[in-house]
Structure 1
Amino acid sequence: MKTTVGSLLLSAGIATANPLAPRSSGVQGFDISSYQGTVDFSGAYSSGARFVIIKATEGTSYIDSDFSSHYDGATSAGLIRGGYHFAHPDEGSGADQATYFLDNGGGWTNDGQTLPGMLDIEYNPDGSECYGLSASDMVSWISDFGETYNSKTGRYPMIYSTADWWSTCTGDSTDFSTNYPLVLAQYASSISTVPGGWPYQSFWQNADSYTYGGDSDIWNGDSDSLSTFAKG
C-alpha cells in the first residue's frame, strides 16, 4: 500500500457517527508497515497527527513482523489506530482472508481508540491487475470479506483503493458506498475523482511520504468526528 499533507477542500457538514456523513475539516494521520521499521509516534502526535493505520496481514499466510510493536507504540503515543489487510483475491476466499486478518490483529472494539479494519484492495504486485477475476467475481470477493468482518465485529471494514483500480476491477461497483468507509488513494493537492458511488472519501491518502514515517492520510472531518467514528 502506498500511502503527505496537502490542501483539502471539503463540503460543509455536521460531524456524526455515520462514516459517510459530510465533514467540515481535516485531521492528519498516516499509514505504515514493517517497511518503515522504527516510527516516531510521539513526534507524529506532537506535530498534529491523530491516527495511524498499521499493516497487519496479507493474503492468508503473511503477518507483518512489526505490527505488534507499531500498534503498541501508537497506543502509547495516544494515537487512534487500527490494522489493515493487503488483499490477495487469488490466494483464498474473502471470508478466509477476513478471518485471518481478525485472528492476527485486525479486530475492532468500541474503545474510541480503535479504527475498524481496512481492506487494502488494489493493483496486484505479482501478476494480473485484477488477480484474474472478473468484475462481478471481484465484487463478490470483497463482499465476502466485508460481510465476514461485519459478522464478527459489528462494523464493516474500510476499503482502500484508487479510482482507476476500482473502475477497472469492480466495474466501478456502487455496492459498497453505503456501509463501507472509503480510504481513497490519490496523490494530489485536491481530489478529482471519487469512485464507486461514494459521495466522498472518509480518509484520503494524499501522498506516499510522511515526515514521521509511512504515508500521509487525511481524515475527512475534525478530531471529534474522528473519535466518534472510531467508537462506532
Structure 2
Amino acid sequence: MKFTLACLITTIGLSVAAPAESSPEARSGTVQGFDISGYQTNVNFGAAYQSGARFVIIKATEGLTYKSPEFNTQYTGATKAHFIRGGYHFARPDVSSGRQQAEYFAKNGGGWSGDGITLPGMLDIESYANKPECYGLSRSAMVAWIRDFADTYHQLTSRYPMIYTGYYWWKDCTGNSNAFRSTSPLVLANYNSKPTPVPGDWPFYTIWQYNDHYKYGGDSDVFNGDITQLKKLATG
C-alpha cells in the first residue's frame, strides 16, 4: 500500500472533524495507527499498542485469487493486543469486476461486524507496477468499477468500504470524481507535511497515511479524530 512519489497525496475520511494543519506527531485529538501487509512478518503488536497506536489495517486480499499468507496471524495478533483492526483489498481492475473482487475480499478477511473493534474494509486503489496507467480504463469506467466494488461490499456487510488513494492518481484516473464523498471514508496517502490537497471533493480525510515507515512495521497512519470517534467508525 505505497504510492510512487508522483502519487503520494490522499487517504480516508467520514464522520470526523476537519483536519488540523500541524504535523501528525504534534496534533492533539488524533489517534496513531499503522497499516501492514504480508511483507511484515514479525509485527510486535504489543509494543505498538504500548507506544500509543490503537488501530491497524491489514492487507487481506488482492485481485481475485490472492490472500496474504500473513493475514490470519496478523489479524489474530492485532486482536489479542486490543487493537481496533480491519482488512484491506488491493484493487486490480485489470483482472475482474469490482463486484467479484468485493465478494472475494468479504469472504477472505474483509468482512465487517458491529463488535466495536472491526473497521469497515478498505479498498486500496492506486497504480501497479508494469501495468498501464489507470489499468487502461477510462475515467468513467474506473468510477464505475469502484462503484461496483463499493456497492457490492455494502450489500454484503451493510458498510461502505473506506477508500485509500492519492490525490494525483484519483485526479488522473477518475477525473477527481466526487461520487464517493458521502459514503466512503477517505484514507489519504500523502507523505508531505500537510494532508492537502484532498481529492474527490471529500470534505476531509478520515485517515492520513503520512509516512511509509512505522517503528513496529508497515506505514504510519493517523486517524482524524479521537478514540471515541474511531470506535464510532468501527461500530457503524
**TM-score (structure 1 length as normaliser):** 0.92
3-state SS in 2 of match to 1:92: coil
The answer for unaligned runs of 5 or more in structure 2 is 4-12, 20-28
1:215 corresponds to 2:210: no
Q: Which amino acid aligns with 1:190?
A: K
Is the CA contact 1:23–1:222 (under 8 Å) kept in the aligned structure 2? no
Is the CA contact 1:194–1:200 (under 8 Å) kept in the aligned structure 2? yes
| Shift >6 Å, 4+ stretches | none
Paired residue for 1:117, among 95, 118, 121?
Answer: 121
**TM-score (structure 2 length as normaliser):** 0.90
3-state SS in 2 of match to 1:36: coil
Q: CA RMSD in A?
A: 1.2
Within 5 Å, which residues of 2 pair with 1:31-70? 31-70=35-74
- Greater RCO between the two (CA within 8 Å, min separation 6)? 2
Q: Which residue of 2 aligns with 1:135?
A: 139
Is the CA contact 2:121–2:162 (under 8 Å) kept in the aligned structure 1? yes
Q: Which amino acid aligns with 2:178?
A: T
Is the CA contact 2:14–2:205 (under 8 Å) kept in the aligned structure 1? no
Residue correspondences, number? 218
The answer for unaligned runs of 5 or more in structure 1 is 4-17
Q: Which amino acid aligns with 1:171?
A: G
Q: Which residue of 2 aligns with 1:20?
A: 15
CA–CA separation in structure 2 for the residues paired with 1:186 and 1:40:
25
Q: Which residue of 2 aligns with 1:7?
A: none
Deviation at 1:204, TM superposition (A): 0.2
Kindly provide the CA deviation profile for residues 57-95 of structure 1, in whole angstroms up to 9, marking residues without a partner as x: 000010000000000000000000000000000000000
CA–CA separation in structure 2 for the residues paired with 1:23 and 1:112:
23
Deviation at 1:190, TM superposition (A): 1.4
Identity %: 57
CA–CA separation in structure 1 for the residues paired with 2:106 and 2:158:
13
Q: Which residue of 1 aligns with 2:6?
A: none
CA–CA separation in structure 2 for the residues paired with 1:21 and 1:27:
12
Q: Which amino acid aligns with 1:30?
A: F
1:191 corresponds to 2:195: yes
Is the CA contact 1:86–1:121 (under 8 Å) kept in the aligned structure 2? yes
CA–CA separation in structure 2 for the residues paired with 1:193 and 1:43:
33
CA–CA separation in structure 2 for the residues paired with 1:30 and 1:208:
10
CA–CA separation in structure 1 for the residues paired with 2:172 and 2:184:
19
Paired residue for 1:145, among 120, 145, 149?
Answer: 149
Deviation at 1:109, TM superposition (A): 0.4
Kindly provide the CA deviation profile for residues 10-45 of structure 1, in whole angstroms up to 9, marking residues without a partner as x: xxxxxxxx9334257211000001101110100000
Is the CA contact 1:118–1:158 (under 8 Å) kept in the aligned structure 2? yes
Is the CA contact 1:20–1:199 (under 8 Å) kept in the aligned structure 2? no
1:103 corresponds to 2:107: yes
1:2 corresponds to 2:6: no
3-state SS in 2 of match to 1:160: strand
